[in-house]
């Protein structure tokens, strides 16, 4: 089993080795991922792929705590980051109360919050109080309703410069790494080159310091839609459906359980 990552190892990876991050929501999958992934992200995307909701906004702090404990139980050697869900970090005071709760009730290593320069004060307040923070800039899933959809960022000069500024502000506020989502590849590279902390991309091209994917997307379990940036490394949905269909057919034909599976 590889040694657990630390914040300094994550920071030192910049320029040396691309970081591998993947989401995990439970102990079973966390255990399967820990050998290959540097970081497990308990993303609020679980609200979509696990809870079947149309966006991440209704994920609650209680749910994030429950899933973080499951992930930590399954993978003691993984560096775990937990998403702060929508509505739990509207002010710096509220953010700290909720962040402390996640740290006290789980063994997560860090929290991720969405937002750029506008969230720098909150990031600073958390990091000054002993909470490690991963930023999240670019396309912000928690803003999907206010923005009227998932919109790729960095399409013009102004948007590109604003992303560079977001990353710098978040870094200065103390974030140890930054997720950048749904951003034109050249702009994401520019952002990564503008800061000293690792910038981990999702739908942001190859010129960043690491990649993150939602596991149910990349293993082909989530069938509702597949964003352009998702590579399916497994056709999980077909494998599962075929396995369950075979089980059903064997139950009906009484082929299962055979002698081998009977006391
Ligand atoms: O919730 C999540 O899975 C995320 C990734 C999209 C980075 O934040």
pLDDT at 1 over 70: no
Q: What is the mean pLDDT of residues 192-221?
A: 97
CA-to-CA distance for 46 and 24, rounded, in angstroms?
8
Does any ligand 1 atom lie closer than 6 A to the CB of residue 23?
Answer: yes
Closest CA to 242 of 254, 234, 231, 230: 234
Alpha-carbon distances, residue 167 vs 22, 24, 56, 80, 91 (angstroms): 21, 25, 23, 21, 20
167 lines ligand 1 (CB under 6 A): no
Q: What is the 3-state secondary structure (H, E, C) of the chain?
A: CCCCCCHHHHHHCCCCCCEEEEECCCHHHHHHHCCCCCEEEECCCHHHHCCCCCCCCCCCHHHHHHHHHHHHHHCCCCEEEEECCCCCCCCHHHHHHHHHHHHHHCCCCEEEEEECHHHHHHHHHHHHCCCCEEEEEECCHHHHHHHCCCCCECCCHHHHHHHHHHHHHHHHCCCCEEEEECECHHHHHHHHHHCCCCEEEECCCCCCCEEEECHHHHCCCCCCCCCCCCCCCCCHHHHHHHHHHHHHHHHHCCCCCCHHHCC
| 189 alpha-carbon distance from chain centroid | 20
Ligand 1 atom 5: residue of nearest CA: 43
As given in the structure block, the two tokens for residue 205 are: 């091209």
Whether residue 95 has pLDDT greater than 80: yes
Candidates 35, 121, 181, 255; catalytic one: 181
Return the minimum-mean-pLDDT range out of 137-146, 198-207, 220-229.
Answer: 220-229
| Region of poorest pLDDT, from 81-85, 214-218, 226-230, 252-256 | 226-230
Pairing of strands 39-42, 133-138: unpaired
- Would you mind telling me the total number of residues written for the chain in this entry? 263
Tell me the average pLDDT across 131-153: 97
From 218, 171, 220, 179, select the one nearest 196 (Cα to Cα): 171
169 lines ligand 1 (CB under 6 A): no
Output the CA 93–ligand 1 centroid distance in Å.
Answer: 24
Give the pLDDT mean for 129-154.
Answer: 97
Domain edges within the chain: 7-232, 236-263
Taking all residues of the chain, what is their mean pLDDT, rounded to a whole number? 97
What pLDDT does 225 receive? 79
Residue 196: predicted pLDDT = 98
Q: In which band, very low, low, confident or very high, does the pLDDT at 224 lie, cut at 50, 70 and 90?
A: confident
Distances (CA, A) of 52 to 44, 149, 182, 224, 235: 12, 18, 22, 10, 19
Window from 65-74, 222-231, 238-247 with minimum mean pLDDT: 222-231
Domain 7-232: which CATH number of 2.60.120.20, 3.40.50.300, 3.20.20.60, 3.30.1330.10? 3.20.20.60
Which atom from ligand 1 is nearest to the alpha carbon of 214? 3
What's the pTM value of the predicted model, to 2 decimals? 0.97
Distance 214 CA to ligand 1 centre (A): 7
How far does the centroid of ligand 1 lie from the alpha carbon of residue 251, in Å?
39
Asked whether 42 lines ligand 1 (CB < 6 A), one says no
Among 23, 86, 115, say which to mutate for ligand 1: greatest number of ligand atoms within 8 Å of CB: 23
**pLDDT digit string (tens) for 119-133?**
999 999 999 999 999
Which pLDDT belongs to residue 182? 98
51 CA to centre of ligand 1 in angstroms: 15
Pocket flag, ligand 1, residue 49 (CB < 6 Å): no
For 13, the token pair is 């990876």
| Percentage of the residues of the chain whose pLDDT score is greater than 90 | 95
214 lines ligand 1 (CB under 6 A): yes
Please report the sign of the dihedral spanned by the C-alpha atoms of residue 52, residue 53, residue 55, residue 58: negative
pLDDT (mean) for 48-67:
96
Residue 81 has pLDDT above 90, yes or no: yes
Q: Is 250 a catalytic residue?
A: no
Give nearest CA residue, ligand 1 atom 4.
Answer: 43
Distance (angstroms) between ligand 1 centre and the Cα of 43 equals: 5
């Amino acid at each position: 089993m590889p040694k657990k990552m630390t914040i300094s190892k994550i920071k030192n990876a910049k320029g040396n080795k691309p970081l591998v991050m993947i989401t995990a929501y439970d102990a079973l999958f966390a255990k399967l991922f820990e050998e290959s992934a540097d970081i497990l992200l308990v993303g609020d995307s679980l609200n979509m792929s696990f809870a079947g909701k149309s966006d991440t906004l209704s994920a609650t702090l209680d749910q994030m705590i429950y899933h973080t404990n499951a992930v930590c139980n399954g993978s003691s050697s993984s560096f775990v980051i937990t998403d702060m869900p929508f509505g739990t970090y509207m002010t710096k005071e509220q953010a700290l109360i909720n962040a402390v709760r996640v740290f006290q009730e789980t063994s997560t290593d860090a929290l991720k919050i969405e937002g750029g320069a506008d969230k720098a004060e909150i990031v600073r307040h958390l990091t000054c109080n002993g909470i490690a923070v991963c930023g999240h800039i670019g396309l912000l899933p928690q803003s999907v309703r206010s923005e009227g959809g998932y919109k790729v960022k960095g399409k013009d000069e102004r948007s590109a410069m604003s992303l560079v500024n977001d990353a710098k502000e978040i870094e200065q506020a103390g974030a140890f790494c930054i997720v950048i989502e749904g951003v034109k590849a050249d702009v994401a590279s520019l952002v990564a080159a503008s800061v000293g902390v690792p910038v981990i991309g999702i739908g942001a091209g190859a010129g960043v310091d690491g990649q993150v994917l939602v596991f149910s997307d990349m293993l082909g379990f989530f069938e509702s839609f597949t964003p352009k940036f998702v590579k399916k490394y497994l056709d999980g949905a077909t494998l599962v459906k075929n396995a369950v269909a075979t089980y059903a057919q064997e139950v009906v034909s009484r082929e299962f359980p055979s002698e081998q599976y009977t006391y």
